[in-house]
């Protein structure tokens, strides 16, 4: 396994792969890898087949963090990430620093952004106004650096995956986006690097996200007709805030393709949640 830190070296390698007709699968991450990430790596491996290459990027992208967010304390453990990637048969880790990704200052200042304007407005885009602009910008950069045939994203970040798919289509990136299922802990908590923040009792309280998804699903399956979204939201908010450290940021019921909110919740409606557990903001989602 190679570890590459420079953009130019990664592009040279990618060019060589292109020339050789090697199929390349790519998993962009912010590191602090967990079983969720590793499931994306396995998926990339299956998609590229024997003779293909799997590249994982590890980069905590500053442009997708807001000024009040957890950029500086975002968990990192590069040595462990390297070990996990090696065990999983990853071919290349691309791990640039900020000077590689956003070089220059003054006249050379980085000044180009990619933004998606429809799917980005709601939910995470509303709670974190510059977040998706940072995501689409860094993902566009990484696509140009790694030049994969297929890139794999996790559906825990459901809105992000939808936006990345839209961006790749709109800008004609010559690659395919695959969205893989959320991996959960045994008790249902969605895997997330931020779960590390859940010390003491907070870990148990974080289960309110999973319980909310389950409760909404049961409600929908038992209902004979569409349930008013406002009523279901109010119920979820009550349930969530029974956990003393939990505060609901948003619960949104929406069409899984357009992300447009629905007023009546039925089977097939998508539910996404963002909940603060203490100072840690967690997200989760499911199709009902």
Q: Does 18 bind a second copy (CB under 8 A)?
A: yes
CB of 143 vs a second copy, minimal distance in Å: 9
In the complex, minimum distance from the CB of residue 15 to a second copy, in angstroms, rounded to a whole number: 7
CA distance linking residue 97 with residue 80, whole number of Å: 18
Sign of CA dihedral 95, 96, 97, 101: negative
In order of 40, 96, 152, 221, 243, the CA distances from 17 in angstroms are: 21, 20, 18, 48, 51
Q: Are strands 53-58 and 24-29 parallel, antiparallel or unpaired?
A: parallel
Written as six digits, the tokens of 1 are 């396994």
Chain residues 97-116 in contact with a second copy, contact rule CB under 8 A: 106-107, 109-116
Choice between 66 and 89, CB closer to a second copy: 66
- Of 23 and 247, nearer to a second copy (C-beta) is 23
Minimum CB separation of residue 9 from a second copy in Å reads 13
Q: Minimum CB separation from a second copy for residue 24, in Å?
A: 12
Answer yes or no: 270 catalytic.
no
Nearest to 37 by CA among 186, 156, 176: 156
Among 61, 136, 155, 195, binds a second copy (CB under 8 A): 136
Give the shortest CB-105-to-a second copy separation in angstroms. Answer: 12
The residue count of the chain comes to 288
Q: 7 or 262, CB closer to a second copy?
A: 7
In the three-class reduction of DSSP (H, G, I as helix; E, B as strand; rest coil), residue 132 is classed as helix
Q: What residues from 217 to 276 belong to the interface with a second copy (CB under 8 A)?
A: 255, 257-258, 260
Q: Does 21 bind a second copy (CB under 8 A)?
A: yes
User: In whole angstroms, what is the distance from residue 148 CA to residue 56 CA?
Assistant: 11
Is the distance from CB of 128 to CB of 159 less than 8 angstroms?
A: no
The answer to whether 49 contacts a second copy (rule: CB under 8 A) is no
| Spatial distance between the Cα atoms of 6 and 62, rounded to a whole number of angstroms | 17
In the stretch 137-156, what mask flags binding to a second copy with x, by CB under 8 A? x--xx--xx-x---------
Are 188 and 216 in contact by the 8 Å Cβ rule? The answer is no
CA pair distance 232, 16, nearest whole angstrom? 53
Is the Cβ of residue 18 or residue 98 nearer to a second copy in the bound state? 18
275 DSSP β-pair partners: 248, 282
3-state secondary structure of 94: strand
**Smallest distance, a second copy to C-beta of residue 145, A:** 5
Q: Closer to a second copy by CB, 147 or 285: give it.
A: 147
Given the complex with a second copy, which of 103 and 228 has the nearer CB atom? 103
Report, as residue numbers or ranges, the catalytic residues: 37
Interface residues toward a second copy, by CB under 8 A? 7, 11, 14-15, 18-19, 21, 106-107, 109-119, 136-137, 140-141, 144-145, 147, 166-167, 170-174, 255, 257-258, 260
């Amino acid at each position: 396994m190679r570890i590459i830190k420079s953009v130019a070296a990664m592009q040279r390698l990618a060019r060589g792969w292109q020339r050789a007709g090697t199929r390349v699968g790519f998993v962009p991450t912010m590191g602090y890898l967990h079983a969720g990430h590793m499931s994306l790596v396995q998926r990339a491996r299956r998609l590229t087949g024997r003779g293909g290459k799997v590249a994982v990027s590890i980069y905590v992208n500053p442009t997708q963090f807001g000024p009040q967010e957890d950029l500086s304390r975002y968990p990192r453990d590069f040595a462990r990430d390297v070990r996990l990637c090696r065990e999983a048969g990853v071919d290349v880790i691309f791990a640039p620093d900020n000077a590689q990704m956003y070089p220059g200052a003054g006249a050379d200042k980085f000044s180009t952004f990619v933004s998606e304007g429809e799917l980005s407005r709601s939910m995470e885009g509303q709670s974190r106004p510059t977040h998706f602009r940072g995501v689409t910008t860094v993902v566009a950069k990484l696509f140009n650096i790694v030049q994969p045939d297929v890139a794999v994203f996790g559906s825990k970040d459901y809105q992000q995956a939808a936006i990345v798919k839209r961006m790749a289509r709109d800008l004609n990136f010559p690659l395919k986006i695959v969205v893989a299922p959320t991996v959960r802990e045994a008790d249902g908590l969605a895997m997330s690097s931020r779960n590390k923040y859940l010390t003491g009792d907070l870990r148990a309280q974080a289960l309110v996200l999973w319980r909310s998804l389950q409760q909404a699903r049961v409600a929908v399956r038992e209902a004979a007709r569409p349930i008013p979204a406002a009523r279901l939201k109010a119920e979820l908010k009550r349930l969530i805030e029974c956990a003393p450290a939990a505060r609901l940021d948003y619960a949104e019921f929406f069409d899984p393709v357009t992300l447009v909110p629905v007023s009546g919740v039925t089977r097939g409606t998508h539910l996404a949640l963002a909940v603060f557990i203490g100072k840690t903001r967690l997200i989760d989602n499911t199709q009902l």
